[in-house]
Amino acid sequence: MPTTEPNHRFLRACLGLPTDRAPIWIMRQAGRYLPEYMQVRREAGDFLSLCKNPELAAKVTWQPIERFGLDAAILFSDILVIPEAMGMGLSFGTGEGPILNPRIETSTDVERLRAPDPEKDLKYVMDAIRTIRTLLADRVPLIGFSGSPWTLATYMVEGGSSRSFTRVLGMLREHPEVMQRLLDRLIEAVTDYLNAQIRHGVQAVQIFDTWGGVLDHDEFLNFSLESMRRIVAGLRRIGPDGMPVPVILFAKGCGEHLEAMAESGCQVVGLDWTTDIGQARLRVGGKVALQGNMDPGLLRASPEEIRQEAERILRAYGPHPGHIFNLGHGIAPDCLPERVGVLVEAVRNFSFQGS
């Protein structure tokens, strides 16, 4: 019979249980900064082909675990596979961001979207999860993920990346009923997708709200956070192995909403580097674990500066359970792998024992 408490350091920290040290994993830990990743990407042909090849996706998921000895792996995929599964065209131009077409402009466009079946339309993701779990052999847990409805909506309405978010904010403010219908469709799709990931073996899930910070206070609560709260309420909370499946909410630029995010039903709130993690721990009072939150730009600094910042963050959190060390956003493509190794070693050396 399975135990009620996980053994993995990362999963224990997610649940606020004691650990021997703070676990560390890193957003975008499988990516372009690794030469071995670039070799596999060339083998795949392009980024999207890599995402859709379960064997190669498993290979690049494993690479940072093998190189750095991190405490969790994260499924190699992309948040925009959901809009593609809903019927939108998706491509990644050379040296460009994603392109989605035709973009969502009207209520008719929203109603035209399909309700994706993750077992069919996203079967390659489920196959990758099974392949990754076999490759990991339970050395470390596997994190699944999705973009938040609001973040997915920004790409779908803008037609790709944006700096001004003019189109999506215009829809939200001029036609809120159309935006809400789009978010409703995405809530259903994301919930089904994450539940399928859990059925196939991911042991935690993270919801990325990359663009929640472009909303004003009430808009974030009513559109972005409420959408994530509804997803969390609809998720399977026990995996096939009988273990709890923690949920991590990461909303970039949204530190002012920490208390509200902690009330969403998630087990972990991810912080970007603009929020002091020590103050954040006092604000949530142990209600949730905290993940973060070193500035990714500091990985360009000297090894000594990296060690000092890692120690500062660990001391700011203090000798308390429920800290997962991470960056405040993903690793930059020009990061030197050796600097990541310095960070991982520093977290191991400076973590409070028995926290």
62-79 per-position pLDDT tens digit = 999 999 999 999 999 999
Is the alpha carbon torsion for 296, 60, 152, 248 positive or negative?
negative
pLDDT, residue 353, reads 55
Catalytic residue among 33, 37, 78, 230: 78
pLDDT, residue 4, reads 73
* Residue 2 in domain: no
CATH number at residue 122: 3.20.20.210
Is the alpha carbon torsion for 288, 81, 226, 233 positive or negative?
negative
* Residue 261 in domain: yes
Torsions phi, psi for 36 (to 5 deg): -70, -30
* Residue 77 in domain: yes
* Residue 302 in domain: yes
Q: Which residues of the chain have pLDDT under 70?
A: 1-3, 94-96, 353-355
Question: Alpha helix locations (H) across the chain?
Answer: 9-14, 35-44, 47-51, 54-68, 81-85, 107-112, 123-136, 149-158, 166-174, 176-200, 217-219, 226-233, 258-262, 277-284, 303-317, 337-350
The annotation status of 312 as a binding-site residue, yes or no, is no
pLDDT, residue 1, reads 34
C-alpha triplet 277, 217, 144: angle, nearest 5°: 55
Range of the domain at 65: 9-350
Rounded Cα distance between 61 and 46, Å, is 16
Count the domains in the chain. 1
12 is known as an active-site residue: no
* Residue 267 in domain: yes
Identity of the residue numbered 305? E
The annotation status of 196 as a binding-site residue, yes or no, is no
* Residue 4 in domain: no
CA 134 and chain centroid, separation = 22
* Residue 355 in domain: no
Question: Mapping DSSP to helix (H, G, I), strand (E, B) and coil, where does residue 177 land?
Answer: helix
* Residue 1 in domain: no
pLDDT, residue 244, reads 97
pLDDT, residue 351, reads 86
The annotation status of 28 as a binding-site residue, yes or no, is yes
